[in-house]
Structure 1
Amino acid sequence: MSASVKALHGIAGADRLLIALDFDGTVSPLMDEPMAARMIPEAAAAITRLAALPETTVAFVSGRSLADLREIAEHGDESPVLLAGSHGAEFWVPGEGAIEPEPDSIDADLRDTLYRHAQDATAHLEGVWIEPKAFGLGVHTRVADASTAAEANAAIDALVAAEASHWRRRTGKNIVEYAFRHEGKDSAIAALRARIDATAVLFAGDDVTDEDALKSLQAEDLGVHVGEGPTAASVCVASVKEMAALLEILATERESARE
C-alpha cells in the first residue's frame, strides 16, 4: 500500500478534485444477486468525508441504470455525490436531479423485444439472468458454469447480431452488456470533469469497462485498479477493503492540504 499512498500526494492538493468511482467491485463486493450490492462501511465513511471537503466532488460512474445505481448506492435526493449511470448516458447532479437523454421510442421498442427474445433463448440455462437496462440488456452468468455461460453468450450474440447489429457490446466480469447508446466511462469522466472544471481526477474501477476511463486520464490524474488483471491504471490495490483504505488516506491528505 505504501506506493499507492505516495501516489495520492500528487492529487491531494489539487485545486478542484474529482473522485470518480466505479461501484461494483470497487466500493462494493461483487454479488451473485446484483441488486444486493452495497458499499462496505469503510468506503461509505471515506466517501462521506471526501464529499464534505471544499472543492472536492465524488461521483459514481457505473454501467448500472441510474435508477438501479441510486438504489444500490442508497443515494438520496440530498446527497452531494454525482452519479453517471448506464456508462455515462444518464446523470444525476445535486440541486438538479436526473439528466437523461430524450426517449427514443423505436430503440425502446427494440430493447423490449430483444429482452423478451433473450429471456426465451436462455430460459433453459441454469444460472443465467437477463437484466433489463435503460438502453439495452445485460446477460449475467456469475452463478452459471463455464459451458452454460458460453452457450448463453453465444445465443445472445447471435440474437443481437440478427436483430440489432448496431448496438454496442461490452464485456465485464461474468456479464455481457448490449446497448443502443454508445457512451462509455471515458465520455462520462470527460463530462464530469467539464461540469466541475476539475484540475485533477482520481478514477478507480475493477472491470474491463473501466479501462476506457483509465486510458482517458491525463497527466495530472490518477488511475486505480481494484483486483488482478491487466490495466492502464498506475496504482493497483488488491480488494474493495484496500480501496476503502486508500480513500480514507486520501481524505486525510486532502483535509491537510485544504487547511
Structure 2
Amino acid sequence: MQFSSMEGEHRYADLVRVADRTIVGLDFDGTLSPIVDDPTQAKIHPAAAEVLIELAPHIAAIAVITGRPARQALDLGGLEDVGDAIQAAGKELYIFGQYGNERWSSRQRRIVAPRPPRGLATFERDLPRTLRLAGATDAYVEDKGLAVAVHTRRLPDPQAAFERLLPPLRSLAERHDLVVEPGRSVIEVRSPGSHKGLVVEKLAAELDARGFLFAGDDLGDLEAFEAVAELEKQGLATVRVCSASQEQSALLPLSDIVVKGPEGVVALLRQLRLDITQGSATG
C-alpha cells in the first residue's frame, strides 16, 4: 500500500489504535471485485472472503456498501457464508445495497428495502428513445428493481458513449424526479435521498464507532469519502482508501492510502489485521 502523505500514515496508525471500535466499509465493484464486462459475472477477489473473516474479530464491524442490489452482492460474493463465519466470531457483516436503499446483516439475515421510486417505470419507458438518439442502442441496461443502470463497457468506444449518454440521461432522470450516479462506464438512475455517505454517517452513529476506514474506486464512492472526512472532524480516526485504476482518478486526491485494485485492497486488509494483532501483542 502507498500512503498519500505523512498525515495519511498518522491517520492509519490512529485507526489501528482504536481498531476494536472501527468499522471497515468497502465498495463492491472495483474494490472487492474486479470490474468485468458483464456485471452478472463479477466475483470477489479469491482471497477476500478469508481476509474478511480473519479481520472481523479484531474490529467493530464490516460493511459492504454498493450500488448493486444486496441480493446480487450476497450471491456473487458468497457473502452469506462470510457473514455466517463473522457472526460466529461474535461480529457482524452488513450489506447495504443500491446506495443504502437496501440493508442486510449477518444477524438479521433478510433484506430490508423500500418500494421502487415513483417515476422509475416511466423513465424505463422513455429510455430506449434516449439511447437511440445518443447512438447507444446496444448499451446494456440493467434493471435493479430500485434503479436502472446503463452500462457502456460493451460498446466499441465505452468512454465516448458514456460522455454522449450522460447529459441526456441526466435530463431524462430529472424529468422523472430521479438522480444520476455516474460510475466506471456505467450511469445509474435512482431515487434521490440516499447515497453511500448517509450509510457511513448512520452506521458510525448506530455502532458508536471511534474509527472508520472506507475503500472505494469511483465517483459513486465520493459521498462516502466526504462523510468519512466529516467523521474525522467529529474526532473519529479515519482512513480513506482508493482502489486505483487507469479508468478513474477522482478519489486519488482525497485518499490517505492508494492501492492497486481489489488485489491491493485485500493486501491492505491483511496488513491491517497484522498491524492490529501486533499492536495488541506489544501494547
Q: What's the TM-score, normalizing by structure 2?
A: 0.80
Does the CA contact (< 8 Å) of 2:170 and 2:179 recur in 1?
A: no
Which residue pairs with 2:205 in the alignment? 194
Which of 227, 230, 240 pairs up with 2:262?
A: 240
With over 3 angstroms needed to count, the CA separation of the structure-2 counterparts of 1:49 and 1:122, relative to structure 1, is same
SS at match of 1:98: coil
Q: Distance in 1 between matches of 2:145 and 2:279?
A: 40
Does the CA contact (< 8 Å) of 2:31 and 2:243 recur in 1?
A: yes
Superposition deviation, residue 169 in structure 1: 1.4
Q: Distance in 2 between matches of 1:118 and 1:177?
A: 12
Does the CA contact (< 8 Å) of 1:129 and 1:140 recur in 2?
A: yes
Q: Gaps (5+ residues) in structure 2?
A: 87-92
SS at match of 1:40: coil
Which of 103, 107, 110 pairs up with 1:91?
A: 103
Q: What's the TM-score, normalizing by structure 1?
A: 0.86
SS at match of 2:14: helix
Q: Distance in 2 between matches of 1:2 and 1:149?
A: 30
Q: Gaps (5+ residues) in structure 1?
A: none
Which residue pairs with 2:216 in the alignment? 205
Superposition deviation, residue 223 in structure 1: 0.5
With over 3 angstroms needed to count, the CA separation of the structure-2 counterparts of 1:258 and 1:179, relative to structure 1, is same
Q: Distance in 1 between matches of 2:165 and 2:53?
A: 40
Which residue pairs with 1:33 in the alignment? 38
SS at match of 1:221: strand
SS at match of 1:222: strand
Q: Distance in 2 between matches of 1:111 and 1:11?
A: 41
Superposition deviation, residue 76 in structure 1: 1.6
Which of 164, 169, 172 pairs up with 1:159?
A: 172
Q: Distance in 1 between matches of 2:124 and 2:137?
A: 17
Q: Distance in 2 between matches of 1:177 and 1:141?
A: 11
Superposition deviation, residue 237 in structure 1: 1.5
Q: Distance in 2 between matches of 1:91 and 1:182?
A: 15
Superposition deviation, residue 94 in structure 1: 2.1
Superposition deviation, residue 86 in structure 1: 1.0
Say if 2:236 is the partner of 1:222.
Answer: no
SS at match of 2:79: coil
Q: Distance in 2 between matches of 1:99 and 1:126?
A: 33
SS at match of 1:97: coil
Q: Distance in 1 between matches of 2:218 and 2:59?
A: 28
Superposition deviation, residue 45 in structure 1: 2.3
Superposition deviation, residue 141 in structure 1: 0.6
Instruction: Give the counterpart letter for 1:41 in structure 2.
Output: P
Count of aligned positions: 253
Superposition deviation, residue 183 in structure 1: 0.7
Which of 147, 155, 163 pairs up with 1:136?
A: 147
Does the CA contact (< 8 Å) of 2:3 and 2:258 recur in 1?
A: no
Which of 21, 37, 45 pairs up with 2:50?
A: 45
Q: Distance in 2 between matches of 1:2 and 1:115?
A: 43
Does the CA contact (< 8 Å) of 1:118 and 1:130 recur in 2?
A: no
With over 3 angstroms needed to count, the CA separation of the structure-2 counterparts of 1:126 and 1:113, relative to structure 1, is closer
With over 3 angstroms needed to count, the CA separation of the structure-2 counterparts of 1:247 and 1:152, relative to structure 1, is same
Say if 2:16 is the partner of 1:12.
Answer: yes
Identity, % of aligned positions? 24
Q: Distance in 2 between matches of 1:126 and 1:167?
A: 21
Which residue pairs with 1:74 in the alignment? 78
Does the CA contact (< 8 Å) of 1:42 and 1:245 recur in 2?
A: no
Q: Distance in 2 between matches of 1:188 and 1:258?
A: 29
Superposition deviation, residue 116 in structure 1: 3.7
With over 3 angstroms needed to count, the CA separation of the structure-2 counterparts of 1:2 and 1:147, relative to structure 1, is closer
Superposition deviation, residue 69 in structure 1: 1.7
Q: Distance in 1 between matches of 2:58 and 2:272?
A: 14
